[in-house]
Structure formats: C-alpha cells, structure tokens
Amino acid sequence: MAGELSIAGADLELIDVRKDFPGFTALDDMDLHIPAGQFFALLGPSGCGKTTTLRIVAGLETPTQGRVLIGGKDITDTKPHDRPVNTVFQSYALFPHMTILENVAFGLRQRKVEDPLAKAQAGLDLVELGHIGARRPQQLSGGQQQRVALARALVNRPSLLLLDEPLGALDLKLRRQMQIELKAIQMEVGLTFLHVTHDQEEAMDMADTVAVMNKGRIEQMGSPEALYDRPKTAFVSRFLGQSNLFVGKVTEENPNSVSIEVGGSKITVDKKRAEKHTGTVAIGVRPEKATFHEEKPNLGADHVLIGPGEIIDIRFTGVSNQYLIEIPNIGEITVFAQNVGKSPVVELGAKVWVSWKVEHSFGLRDLPDGTEDLG
C-alpha cells in the first residue's frame, strides 16, 4: 500500500535566515539542517518563531535575509505552489461539499495527475480510511478528518510535509492515538516531516530530533532523550518538563566534577555534564531523579544530599505523587514519587532529606532569569 505512495523525502536547510517584522525580529539568523526522512519537531512557546519558520519554508512568508534549500535546491524565491511541500493544518481545511475521496483527489486533479481517484483511494487506504471515501467531512470524527487531511497531503508526493499544530483540536485520548499513527505513517512512507508544536509531550513522543526555540533562536537541538536528560539552558530545562535548579559559586573543581555551595550544602555535577566550570553556575536535577528520606541517610560522594526540609504540599497526579519540600536557605524542591504501591510519605509537615545521584545532575551554560551572578 505504501509502495503506491512511496515518496523520496528530501533534506531541508535554512542558511542564515532572518525575518523582521515592524518593531520586532521573529527569526534571528537561523541555521538549520533536517536530514531526509526524519521526523523533526520545532518546539517552543507562542511567539518563539516556530510558525514563522514553517511559513518561510512553505513560501507563505519571505525571509528578510538568508536562503531555504530543499534537496539541495534553493527555493527561497520559488512560489508556494511550485515548492515540493504540503502542509497539514490544525483546522483540517476539508471541503464540506465534497466526498472524502474527492477531497483527497482535489490537489491531484488541479495538477492534472493521471487517475486521481485511484491515487486518492491509495492515500485513504494508507491512513486506514479506505472504506469511508463516499462520506462527507461533517460525518467524520475529528481524528478521521485529520487523517483525511494527512492523506490529501501525502498523495501529492511532497518531498517535505509541514505539520502546523495538527493535533491541537483533538481531545487528549485521540491526540495520543494520532501521535502513534502519524509516526507510523511517517516511517512507512519515508517522508521528511517538519512538525511545529508548543506541546512538549507531543514533540518528545513523535520526533527523531527536537529543536527548542525561544525568542527567534534555537536554544538547543537533539534527540528527545538528550534534551530532557541534559538540558543546556535554564529555558530548556523548564520548558521540557520540570527542573530543580540551584545557583551558586563554584567551590570545588577536579578532573571529574564541579561543585557549588548553596545554603551550606554541596551540590555536584559530573564535569562532562556541566556547561560551565567556573564562576556562578546553575546545577539542576529532574524531580523524578530525586528521592527523599525520613531519616538522614549515609551516602557516598556519588550522591548529593540536602536537608533537612519540610513537606509543604502533596499532589496526586495518577502515576506519581508530587512532593514540594521547603529546605531552609535553599528554597523549594520538587520530588516525584512513582505510585507503585504505598507512597513513601503521606503527611504534610514531615521532616525529610532529599538526595540524588551526582550522575543525574546537569550543569547549565546560563542562569535562570532573575538570578544574580555571584561573581
């Protein structure tokens, strides 16, 4: 089935791309390369420049400077309809007066492609909707309409498929189902996907590579696992999940580790996981990597230990409990405890120590907003 729709995905390259609007810069000298056949996500908050990037690739915006190449060909000045690109929008954009099959065949007919209905049927078969071609869009669920929009884009055999918040209108259960289906289809057809989203879980779940954007720039790019396990900036550490961040002056450095002192406690990071080794440094740990103890444990140098503190809030989230712990001279620390049986502590006001393995610390190259450089 996919053989009928076999598509040669192409690589995408943005070279020194800048986009200025009156009063602000949406994209600030962006360089980006997406290999052919990859599922790539641009992730960031509203106003970070991700949608502007997509519109420039689609030809709906003209860059102030820079070049856009698809498959090595410069398409910066190519009209949108002449680019080897199709876009799937959140709104689906299906024609209500046409059948599903006619909707999928529409672009093929516009381009005078031979046997458009047969190719449209192959597209519907690919997204497992081959049996409903005679229905109208209003007779379909949101998830089915999204799959039709995907089929309509795929039958045009683009080198690059742009996904603009495509799952945003779906409920949580359906959105997760569509995440699985989108990734499976992308792997089956071998097409290059550029997915724009503000949903961290969606990007992490589907993409081979994620670029986190902030204020018109890419803050960090890599596999979802690498970005989550070792964020390099305060923004990435807090935009992708939650982080506990500690800021202090480096008091100890050796070939293997870097340590700071915060509120009388020593916090250490492996040197290979630290972006800075001198001056004022921010070290973080994810809440699920930390644990707490009702009695002070005897731990070695391969652990960080802080406390004692007081549990000031407990929140049940289903798969885990979230504990907020106030530690004097340090501040509030969040710890996630997996619900695999009896919760470790259930009372507010309990006195606890918090620990984690040094190998789970990460050191940032910048400081959180509002944090003073200690010199």
- CA 311, CA 324: separation in Å to the nearest integer? 6
Q: Are residues 152 and 189 in the same domain?
A: yes
Residue 370 lies in a domain: no
List for the chain the helix, strand, coil content (%; round to 5). Answer: 25, 35, 35
Nearest alpha carbon to residue 108 among 145, 71, 154: 154
The SS3 call for residue 157 is: coil
* 259: β partners: 252, 268
374 vs 68, higher pLDDT: 68
pTM of the predicted model as reported, rounded to 2 decimal places: 0.87
- CA 375, CA 367: separation in Å to the nearest integer? 12
Domain boundary among 200, 229, 258: 229
- Positive or negative, the CA dihedral 154, 158, 160, 162 is negative
Q: Are residues 208 and 242 in the same domain?
A: no
Pair type for strands 85-89 and 160-164: parallel
Q: Are residues 220 and 286 in the same domain?
A: no
At 187 the pLDDT is 86
- CA 52, CA 45: separation in Å to the nearest integer? 13
At 256 the pLDDT is 95
Provide CB contacts within 8 A for 111, sequence distance 6+. 156
Distances from the Cα of 260 to the Cα of 245, 250, 274, angstroms = 12, 4, 12
The H-or-E segment that residue 27 falls in is: strand 24-34
Where in the sequence is the domain holding 340, given as residue range(s)?
Answer: 234-363
335 pLDDT tier (thresholds 50, 70, 90): very high
156 vs 237, higher pLDDT: 237
Q: What is the per-residue pLDDT across 6-21, written as a single tens digit (0 to 9) for each? A: 556 789 999 999 999 9
Contact 117, 72 (CB under 8 A): no
Provide CB contacts within 8 A for 91, sequence distance 6+. 169
Number of domains in the chain: 2
Contact 234, 245 (CB under 8 A): yes
Domain boundary among 229, 259, 283: 229
Q: What is the per-residue pLDDT across 194-246, written as a single tens digit (0 to 9) for each? A: 999 998 988 999 999 999 999 999 999 999 999 999 999 999 999 999 999 99
Q: Are residues 173 and 119 in the same domain?
A: yes
Domain boundary among 176, 205, 229: 229
Range from 147-151, 283-287, 331-335 carrying the lowest mean pLDDT = 147-151
Residue 375 lies in a domain: no
Q: Are residues 249 and 113 in the same domain?
A: no
Q: Are residues 309 and 339 in the same domain?
A: yes
318 pLDDT tier (thresholds 50, 70, 90): confident
Mean pLDDT of the chain: 90
Q: Are residues 211 and 341 in the same domain?
A: no
Nearest alpha carbon to residue 64 among 72, 75, 56, 74: 56
Contact 283, 361 (CB under 8 A): yes
